[in-house]
Amino acid sequence: MTNTPTEPDSVPELPDNPAERRNGLITWLSIAAVAVIAAVAVLISHFSGGSSRADASGRVTVKIGTTDRSSDFWPVLTRRAAEEGIDIELVNFTDYTQANPALSQKQIDLNLFQHLLFLANHNVADKDTLTPIGSTVVVPLSLYSKKHTTLQDIPAHGRVAIPNDPTNQARALLVLQQAGLLKLKGGGSVLATPADVDTATSKVTVTPVDAAQTVASLPSVDAAVINNNFALDAELDPSKALYGDDPSKPEAEPYINVFVARAADKNDPTYLKIAKLYHEEAVKKAAIDASKGTAVAVERPQADLERILASLEKTVRAAH
């Protein structure tokens, strides 16, 4: 049993301690200030799309890597994004191999320069997880000649130059097969190589060269399959191409060009907003005009793009 000390019958009540009142008020004000700051931060994050690059005014800067900074559609897209509080900063790469590593290493926020098959090859080769967040266009891969004006004019055993990088080389072979100039064993695939050409039943032979040299090869071959950007740079007339694949067909799915983000950012609302703005009429028209009318706009759901990419990655892994 605990003894209780004897207390007086009454204890005079002590007055409030002014310091305690002051300290309590300061504590309350501090808590309130923190709450207000947190609320403002939430609002800024909400209206800027949640990006960590938002400034105090709520505007957000997004760095986009590309290989065609001079294309006429970029000023239109950049202007529309600015109206939505998004400042696009373009980072131009002269080599296709640079833009994906730069994205993985967080030097840029998005990139737009590649189709899904190129992305699949990168992800498999580098064990990466870069992800498409929006589609843009499919650009045809076309056959040009300075010696002949029709497919029928190309002679038996004629020589055709094709790009030598894996994705464009396979596509070029498929284009020549569709044009009736050669046949691929087993019908070919998105990973076809010159070794897959059935020479006994093919009209032409192929000569792989660097993609940038396909235009320069035209005088010395019967025809060349040339990427659209190199053809336009050389001022070749797309309407004079002897043949091109059809961007609107299902076979063109691997060649859908896409905005690409890191997997962790695939749902970032600011990035998705940029991808959506691309399909506004003014931006889309500028992109198609820049291709001299050869590009076909493609607007596919993000889930479709991820499904196509996963299938292509599976194909690439199986080939290795």
pLDDT digits (tens, 9 = 90+) for 136-176: 999 999 999 999 999 999 999 999 999 998 889 999 999 99
% residues pLDDT > 70 (the chain): 83
At 17 the pLDDT is 47
Distance of CA 288 to the CA centre of its chain: 17
Which tokens sit at 243?
């043949």
Q: Summarize pLDDT for 98-138 with one digit per residue, the tens.
A: 999 999 999 999 999 999 999 999 999 999 999 999 999 99
Interval 262-279 mean pLDDT: 98
Mean of pLDDT values over 298-313? 97
**Candidate from 6-10, 33-37, 237-241 with smallest mean pLDDT:** 6-10
CB 247 within 8 A of CB 124: no
Task: Look at residue 7 and tell me whether its pLDDT is greater than 90.
Answer: no
| pLDDT value at residue 52 | 46
Residue-level pLDDT at 53:
63
Task: Map residue 78 onto helix, strand or coil.
Answer: helix
CB 260 within 8 A of CB 40: no
**DSSP H or E stretch at residue 86:** strand 86-92
Residue 55 has pLDDT above 60, yes or no: yes
Evaluate if residue 46 carries a pLDDT over 50. Answer: no
Confidence class for position 8, pLDDT limits 50, 70, 90: very low
Position with higher pLDDT, 250 vs 111: 111
Per-residue pLDDT at 48: 37
> Of the given ranges (36-40, 184-188, 257-261, 276-280), which has the lowest mean pLDDT?
36-40
pLDDT value of residue 50: 39
Mean pLDDT of the chain: 86
65 and 99 Cβ atoms separated by less than 8 Å? yes
**Rounded CA gap, 61 and 302, in Å?**
23
Instruction: Kindly indicate the confidence band of residue 26, based on its pLDDT and cuts at 50, 70 and 90.
Output: very low
Name the phi and psi angles at 108, rounded to 5. -135, 170
Share of the chain above pLDDT 90, in %: 71
